[in-house]
Structure 1
Amino acid sequence: MTEVEENQDLVGSYFMELWRIKSKRREATSLDENDVVEMMNLDKKEEDLLLDLYSDEPELEPSELDTLKSSSGFAIVLPDKVSVKYPRVNLHGHDVGVVQANHPAPVKRLVYYFEITVKNAGAKGQISIGFTPNDVNLNRQPGWEANTYGYHGDDGLLYRGQGRGEAFGPTYTVGDTVGAGINYALQKIFFTKNGQMVGFFIDNTVKDRLYPTVGVHSLNEEVTVNFGKTQFMFDLITYEATERAKIHAYIEKIIIPPTASYGVVRSYLQHYGYTETLEVFDQATQESVPPITGFHDNGFNEHMYKVEDRKNLRKLIKDGQINDAFGILRKLYPHIVQDDTSAICVMLYCQEFIELVRVGHLEEAVRYGRTHFQKFNSLKKYENLVQDCAALLAYQEPEKSAVGYLLEDSHRENVADAVNAMILSTNPNLQDKTSCLHSYLERLLKQLTACFLEKRLLNGDQGETFNLKRLLLSKNTQHN
């Protein structure tokens, strides 16, 4: 196999795997992302892609109190499952009623927070709020045991891992609303009272999955927990925005030369053949004050290779004109499509079938599938993907079905990206054989994502990952 053929095999396999990962998403939405990676036996490159896809998958969140665990009858969870009461006279210091939430606090975010409202302070007001691990002793107040944290109402003390408290905040009693939160970016646990911040502490050992926890300890004490079903008294949205703004302010202090940022953006336009936008971009950089210069000769120009051909093919594929795209490839790049069972050919044949289904030409789609899909019957590596395409015929509204992802514009985009990369891979001056897969801008974003993932890993797999969509949406919200 020649070097060019090796590059083309790499490109085809890469984009077929992107398709396969998207297909697998619907089968694995209930699994943890690490389980999915293991199940699919992905390498590091493919794992990063999957993590990008799964970055917005929701975690199970606390929604009610756990009614299965027992604290020897010292705490009774009421029928609403968000209220807890102490029903008896306590005789000993260990006659504590502790109740955890039904799920641990979700960790793949910036902040988790919940609140309690004191309905009855009981005989002594020995109420507490905090966080505890799964194996906590339910007859010990939050903060009295190792790896537990609690803010106590009767004395206003903070307890963290020992029976001895430390001065922290005011006491709280009937009618007060008290909250507890974890800032995962800073490993900071904080508490609030009646919507105002009481205080926080930083503990870099907060690595366990922690459960929101409430403790009661004297006759008739009763609290109700709010896991977010109703609006919090504390302004959590503003708090999160402020914390993110601090992070962004730190990042924005890092000076990046204009030539570097403009060069990276320019390489993206080159890589995907957006020539009209590239001309406007170049003109704008010359008209800026001062003009941005010096980025044309920084090694990015390899992405100008066959740019007009790539632009035309992208437009055809995004418009659904797959046969026309096939014709250009056979005429100008016959070596790319000479193997009728290569990954790029499979993608193009499947996309033409999808386009026929998209416009409702079902009989023609059946004939087309019979003609072109039979050559893939003996190729197990394509079997599931071809079956996904064929399954479109089984639904009256295929766009709403499990294989509806095939009809999304993003699927056309994946095919167009594959053809684009395949042509770039034929560049004899290509310095890095993988550079045809991504623009430098995308490599930068992937590196940024990897850094955030590594930071989260060092932080006990807690905190947000870099999410460009979320970042852009937050910027738009601020500007509006």
Structure 2
Amino acid sequence: MSEATSQSNPPENDVIGSYFLDLWRHTSRTLAVKPETDSEFEQDEEPPTALDTVNSSGGFSLVGHDKLSLLYPNAHMHGHDVGVVQANRPAPTKRLLYYFEIFVKNAGQKGQIAIGFTTAGFKVRRQPGWEANSCGYHGDDGLLYCGHGKGETFGPTYTTGDTVGGGVNYEAQEFFFTKNGAVVGSVIKDVRGPVYPTVAVHSQNEEVIVNFGKDPFVFDIKAYEAEERTKQQMRVDSISISQETSYGIVRSYLQHYGYEDTLRLFDVAGKSTVPPITLSSGSILNEEAQTYALNQRKIIRQLIKSGQIDETFSTLNHWYPQLVQDQTSIIFLLLRCQKFIELVRENKVEEAVMYGRREFDRFRKCAVNDDLIKDCAALIAYEQPSKSSVGYLLGDSQRELVADLVNAMILSTNPKVTDPSACLHSCLDKIVRQITVCFLEKRAVNGDQGEAFNLSRVLKSGKKD
């Protein structure tokens, strides 16, 4: 008799099932609407694309028909006769950096051109940097103005033929400026709330052309971003974690998800590199919990990941009948849905239709799961379901979700487990979740600006071409 069948048959754990249903819904909301792309981490913020022709300084400047060029046509009479134009949208904030450039087509009579950032409601007849909550790098004197009319020594002047850029580094909370492809300098971003890329002209015939990213930048912003990420990584690498601790974290991850073969190889490799680990009584108990039904969990995970759902049911009925005896349970629902998905994957459409009619009817009484069943059923409506809005169901991540659910449910049958929610995550998962919370808290402190921690992005950044 297996260790599982010798135990009492506990009812299905709603905490575990509900968690994975919510996880499925989260996946359907994100991937079904917008497939994963290189810009997925920018959270759909619309970047500036043109100059704002509505909120501008009127007769003191002319915005071209392309909404990317700015001209000061007349001689100015007063110091406040500035031609200032903001971008049509604020700079996106849910990212590491934002950057734009201007090309000085004509420096005009005095070269009183400025590039910078301002907030909503800025007085558009004042140079950026002359008013509170604004910052500007000025071409005629090379000074940096931040919130008042007195500039500070900053960089070189710029004139006809020069390309000047302005950016926001949300990680460092700094504005930075460039000239002809090189960084001029940076300054603390002492401005709260969203900021608008802003350009100003102030003497006759001054003309600039703005590039919000439609054309390649003169400054290598990708290299700059890579350099900033390297700095981040260096700060992370400077945090000392003992080899024993990191080994234990990885090992517990492999145990939790039932990767028995990988765990065995990991232990063999670790014998020559990791000092002997002294386990406390608490660690011994945790070790027992993590290795509970390890071989069985490995076998069932392999069945699900290879799409063998009938075999999965058969195996569960043999080892853990208490988990699938309720045919309206969440684990039963997800396994039935996965069977339907596998039939579609094999292009067995007629069989999938018959299976869906037979199996999904029992769940229609529970309207809370109707959206997920509809997602599955929608697969048969497309000639190429993998390219449809519900194509995410055919990905390996859906199999992983079902496998993780079953794995957690098996762990919860351990009689020594008193809190079923402890079966949801490995130690490594909890660390990643804690890091995510810390990043979000840091972003909140910075006025909800900057990136959140995203493990997928971190893993992508480490890929080798």
Q: TM-score range by the shorter chain?
A: over 0.9
SS of structure 2 residue aligned to 1:67: strand
Q: Does 1:270 align with 2:255?
A: yes
Distance in 1, Cα, partners of 2:12 & 2:42: 32
Q: How has the CA–CA distance of structure 1 residues 103 and 56 changed in structure 2, closer, same or farther, with 3 Å as cutoff?
A: closer
Moved more, 221-230 or 467-476: 467-476
Q: How has the CA–CA distance of structure 1 residues 216 and 260 changed in structure 2, closer, same or farther, with 3 Å as cutoff?
A: same
Partner amino acid, structure 2, of 1:244 = R
Checking the alignment, whether the CA contact within 8 Å between 2:43 and 2:94 is kept in structure 1 is no
- Counterpart selection for 1:387 from 361, 374, 377: 374
Checking the alignment, whether the CA contact within 8 Å between 2:10 and 2:322 is kept in structure 1 is no
Q: Does 1:311 align with 2:298?
A: yes
Q: How has the CA–CA distance of structure 1 residues 138 and 292 changed in structure 2, closer, same or farther, with 3 Å as cutoff?
A: farther
Q: How has the CA–CA distance of structure 1 residues 357 and 473 changed in structure 2, closer, same or farther, with 3 Å as cutoff?
A: closer
Moved more, 254-263 or 3-12: 3-12
Q: Does 1:218 align with 2:206?
A: no
Checking the alignment, whether the CA contact within 8 Å between 2:439 and 2:452 is kept in structure 1 is yes
Following superposition of structure 1 onto structure 2, how do residues 180-199 of structure 1 map, counting pairs within 5 Å? 180-199=166-185
Q: Does 1:13 align with 2:24?
A: no
What corresponds to 1:46 in structure 2?
none
Checking the alignment, whether the CA contact within 8 Å between 1:260 and 1:295 is kept in structure 2 is no
Give 1:301 shift.
3.7
Distance in 2, Cα, partners of 1:131 & 1:201: 12
Q: Does 1:176 align with 2:181?
A: no
Give 1:469 shift.
2.6
SS of structure 1 residue aligned to 2:422: coil
What corresponds to 1:115 in structure 2?
101
- CA deviation vs aligned residue, 1:23-56 (integer Å, no higher than 9, x gap): 22367769xxxxxxxxxxxxxxxxxxxxxx9745
Q: How has the CA–CA distance of structure 1 residues 169 and 434 changed in structure 2, closer, same or farther, with 3 Å as cutoff?
A: same
Following superposition of structure 1 onto structure 2, how do residues 28-427 of structure 1 map, counting pairs within 5 Å? 55=41, 57-203=43-189, 205-288=190-273, 291=275, 293-294=277-278, 297=283, 299-427=286-414
- CA deviation vs aligned residue, 1:109-168 (integer Å, no higher than 9, x gap): 222111111100112111000001121111111111110111111121111111222222
Distance in 1, Cα, partners of 2:182 & 2:289: 56
- CA deviation vs aligned residue, 1:267-290 (integer Å, no higher than 9, x gap): 1111111111101000011022x6
- CA deviation vs aligned residue, 1:67-101 (integer Å, no higher than 9, x gap): 23231221211122211111222112111111111
Checking the alignment, whether the CA contact within 8 Å between 1:285 and 1:293 is kept in structure 2 is no
Distance in 2, Cα, partners of 1:392 & 1:402: 9
Partner amino acid, structure 1, of 2:410 = I
Partner amino acid, structure 2, of 1:393 = I
- CA deviation vs aligned residue, 1:292-321 (integer Å, no higher than 9, x gap): 534694634411111111111111111111
Moved more, 259-268 or 366-375: 366-375
Moved more, 273-282 or 359-368: 359-368
Distance in 1, Cα, partners of 2:352 & 2:235: 55
SS of structure 2 residue aligned to 1:114: strand
Checking the alignment, whether the CA contact within 8 Å between 1:132 and 1:142 is kept in structure 2 is yes
State, as a whole percentage, how many aligned pairs show the same letter: 55
Checking the alignment, whether the CA contact within 8 Å between 2:436 and 2:454 is kept in structure 1 is yes
Moved more, 186-195 or 120-129: 186-195
Distance in 1, Cα, partners of 2:268 & 2:391: 41
Q: How has the CA–CA distance of structure 1 residues 301 and 227 changed in structure 2, closer, same or farther, with 3 Å as cutoff?
A: farther
SS of structure 2 residue aligned to 1:209: coil
Checking the alignment, whether the CA contact within 8 Å between 1:105 and 1:210 is kept in structure 2 is yes
Partner amino acid, structure 2, of 1:293 = I
Root-mean-square deviation (CA, aligned residues, Å) is 2.2
- Counterpart selection for 1:22 from 17, 21, 27: 27
Distance in 2, Cα, partners of 1:6 & 1:332: 16
TM-score by length of 1: 0.89
Q: How has the CA–CA distance of structure 1 residues 407 and 28 changed in structure 2, closer, same or farther, with 3 Å as cutoff?
A: closer
Give 1:245 shift.
2.2
Give 1:403 shift.
1.2
Distance in 2, Cα, partners of 1:240 & 1:375: 53
Q: How has the CA–CA distance of structure 1 residues 80 and 252 changed in structure 2, closer, same or farther, with 3 Å as cutoff?
A: same
Partner amino acid, structure 2, of 1:141 = Q
Give 1:4 shift.
8.1
Gaps of 5+ in 2: 1-7
Between the two proteins, the alignment pairs up a number of residues equal to 452
- CA deviation vs aligned residue, 1:160-200 (integer Å, no higher than 9, x gap): 11122222222111111111111111211121222222222
What corresponds to 2:4 in structure 1?
none
- CA deviation vs aligned residue, 1:217-251 (integer Å, no higher than 9, x gap): 11111001122223322232332222222222222
TM-score by length of 2: 0.92
Partner amino acid, structure 1, of 2:154 = F
Q: How has the CA–CA distance of structure 1 residues 383 and 268 changed in structure 2, closer, same or farther, with 3 Å as cutoff?
A: same
Checking the alignment, whether the CA contact within 8 Å between 1:86 and 1:220 is kept in structure 2 is yes
